[in-house]
Amino acid sequence: MSPTASLKTPLYKKHLAAGAKMTDFHGWTLPLQYTSMMEECKAVRKSVGLFDISHMGKVEVKGKNAFRLLQHLTTNDLSRLSEGQAQYTALVDDRGGIIDDLVVYQISRFRFFLCLNAANTEKDISWIAEFALQYPDVEVRNLTRQYGLISVQGPNSEVIIKGLGGARAAGIEYFHFMITNLAEKNVILSRTGYTGEDGFEIYCDWRDTDIVWDALMTKGKHWSIKPCGLGARDLLRLEMGYMLHGVDMDTSVTPFEAGLAWIVKLDKEGGLVAQEALTQKKTEGAARKIAGFEMNERGGLPRHGYSILADGRIVGEVTSGGMSPCTGKTVGLGYVLAEHSKPGTPIQIDIRGKAVEATVVRRPFLPSKTKKAKPAAAVSDNSGEAAAKEE
Amino acid sequence: MEFPKDLKYSKEHEWVRVEDGDTAIIGITDFAQDELGDIVFVEAPKVGRDLKAGESFGVAESVKTVSDLYSPVAGQVIEVNPELEGSPELVNESPFDKGWIIKLKMEDPKELENLLSAQDYRNLAQKG
């Protein structure tokens, strides 16, 4: 638990009034669950769910050299992005360790918007600001507490967005966004999410967040929209095999080990902050790799830090685990020695001293239903991303 | 939140229902299941195992956390709820009935006097 006074999102009072169970998340007081994590997950898969993720870090980088700065610090190739597009990428340190994973929004060639993990925001900003000194005309601003952020996820999210006046925006492609009006408020509407379902993330003025939330709840009633907590958010991302920074990756792993080779572009102009380190790691090949696995017998949940065994020998460590509400299967993620990372490989998880049988499987654990980007050259990043996430 | 009056309670949030004088049916309370959240696994002991009062006999695992289960009284395990292996959610749905966990043949039914009444347990639980 955070020793400092806790931070509250603009929806804090609404969560309490709705009877949510609250929890501390890196200094923020957020809903863990409203009714049941399982029910909340199922609502998102079947119809639609609503998440308050206003705690996410929001940073604006603008100026003549904003592009050059971000191109140097992030692993993906920013030159493939155009206005109105978003890109999944990573910040790495000079050894190639993952400082954070993030989404970069290109508002214009001179203005970018970053969505960062709450736990890393301060650290990310200092890292970026340190390099910004070498680039004239770049401004880095922390807008975390100026924008609320609501995520609407599930197959019925599009119809709700349309119903709130976002008809034009409801047509945007996956990993694209638009600055538009929704429920008569000015928002950034982005077709992104962390659930593997079609959905939108809505950035709005901090003071408008409760109005947008209420409008979504009211419009969503017909589709039995459910407010969801962090518990459901974590299970939904796990079902997709998506990683969580600080849990499944940190500065001790490179993007190659974390299965993120698809967002590392070493051939871009100007080079990457970790150009040398990552080029060498790429040549060497990763000795350990992240793998998804499925439990074959009952014996409890694989949890962060549990050992992964093969023939009685420790060959890795679990980073995330849980029971998929949709399939009832118990699944997890963990790092294993590369020779044990192929789908089909039998492994065991040491659950409180018992070796419980599991098998390495392909991710996602459930098929992804995000809206697919058009297979045009301009959006090749996104289709590459969708494909890579489904590997 | 329910606190049935006919049961005895432990500070560790287990309940005991007495049957036939010396059989103790043991489960976790409504308060405990609510705190744990969705339960996905219950590890129960083997039939025949002797338990001391206060001894850990298994775990209830929820999405959120793993919690040890403690026997409120001493005795021998005579039955384990067979439904929980396939449906651990019964502990959430029906903590005092279908979600019972083990039955013990009590060593000394007098030990029940050391446990809390419904009112005392309610006070403890609600104090947080």
Chain B positions in Cβ-Cβ contact with residue A300 (cut-off 8 Å)? 41, 43, 59, 61, 66
Q: What is the mean pLDDT of residues B10-19?
A: 97
**What's the whole-number average pLDDT of chain B?**
95
CATH number at residue A18: 3.30.1360.120
Q: Across the interface, do B66 and A298 touch by the CB < 8 Å criterion?
A: no
Both A320 and A387 in one domain: the answer is: yes
Residue boundaries of the structural domains of chain B: 8-108
Task: Looking at the complex, report in whole angstroms how far the Cα of residue A232 sits from the nearest Cα belonging to chain B.
Answer: 10
Q: Which of A134, A167, A188 is the last residue of a domain?
A: A134
Pairing outcome for strands A7-8 and A28-33: parallel
Both A108 and A174 in one domain: the answer is: no
Residue of A nearest to B35 (CA): A21
Q: Across the interface, do A36 and B38 touch by the CB < 8 Å criterion?
A: yes
pLDDT at A391: 31
Q: Across the interface, do A298 and B61 touch by the CB < 8 Å criterion?
A: no
Domain that holds residue A151: 7-55+145-239
Both A49 and A65 in one domain: the answer is: no
- pLDDT tens for each residue of A232-286: 999 999 999 999 999 999 999 999 999 999 999 999 988 899 999 999 999 999 9
Both A299 and A390 in one domain: the answer is: yes
Q: Is residue A228 part of a domain?
A: yes
Both A48 and A159 in one domain: the answer is: yes
Q: Is residue A233 part of a domain?
A: yes
Chain A positions in Cβ-Cβ contact with residue B43 (cut-off 8 Å)? 299-300
CATH number at residue A379: 2.40.30.110
Q: Across the interface, do A323 and B43 touch by the CB < 8 Å criterion?
A: no
Structure tokens at B123: 């006070």
Q: How many CB pairs under 8 A join A and B?
A: 38
Domains: count for chain A:
3
Task: Looking at the complex, report in whole angstroms how far the Cα of residue A330 sits from the nearest Cα belonging to chain B.
Answer: 9
Q: ipTM more than 0.85?
A: no
Q: Nearest by CB to B63, which of A21, A37, A299?
A: A37
CB under 8 Å to A371, separation ≥6 — which residues? A173, A174, A191, A198
- Estimate the crossing angle of helix A37-46 against helix A230-239, to 10 degrees: 60
Q: Is residue A255 part of a domain?
A: no
3.20.20.70, 2.40.50.100, 2.40.50.140, 3.40.50.1220: CATH of B8-108: 2.40.50.100
Q: Is residue A251 part of a domain?
A: no
Question: How many CB atoms are closer than 10 A to CB A207?
Answer: 11
Chain B positions in Cβ-Cβ contact with residue A324 (cut-off 8 Å)? none
Q: Across the interface, do A299 and B59 touch by the CB < 8 Å criterion?
A: no
Q: Is residue A89 part of a domain?
A: yes
Give the amino acid at A336.
Answer: V
Nearest to A106 by CA among A80, A75, A128: A80
A187 bridge partner residues: A180, A204
Q: Nearest by CB to A301, which of B41, B85, B92?
A: B41
pLDDT at B128: 60
Lowest mean pLDDT among A63-67, A169-173, B28-32, B59-63: A169-173
Both A208 and A327 in one domain: the answer is: no
CB of B68 within 8 Å of any CB in chain A? no
Both A44 and A62 in one domain: the answer is: no
- pLDDT tens for each residue of A12-63: 999 999 999 999 999 999 999 999 999 999 999 999 999 999 999 999 999 9
Q: Check pLDDT > 90 for residue B82.
A: yes
Q: Check pLDDT > 60 for residue B50.
A: yes
C-alpha span between A61 and A300 (Å, rounded): 45
CATH number at residue A74: 3.30.70.1400
Chain A positions in Cβ-Cβ contact with residue B63 (cut-off 8 Å)? 37-38, 231, 235, 301, 322-323
Where chain A has pLDDT below 70, the residues are: 1-5, 372-391
Both A96 and A175 in one domain: the answer is: no
- Estimate the crossing angle of helix A66-73 against helix A121-132, to 10 degrees: 120
Both A348 and A291 in one domain: the answer is: yes
Both A38 and A115 in one domain: the answer is: no
Both A190 and A309 in one domain: the answer is: no
pLDDT at A371: 82
CB of B64 within 8 Å of any CB in chain A? yes
Both A11 and A111 in one domain: the answer is: no
Q: Nearest by CB to A323, which of B43, B59, B63?
A: B63
Chain A positions in Cβ-Cβ contact with residue B64 (cut-off 8 Å)? 32, 231
Chain B positions in Cβ-Cβ contact with residue A303 (cut-off 8 Å)? 66
Q: Is residue A278 part of a domain?
A: no
| Structural contact between residues B30 and B7, judged by C-beta atoms closer than 8 angstroms | no
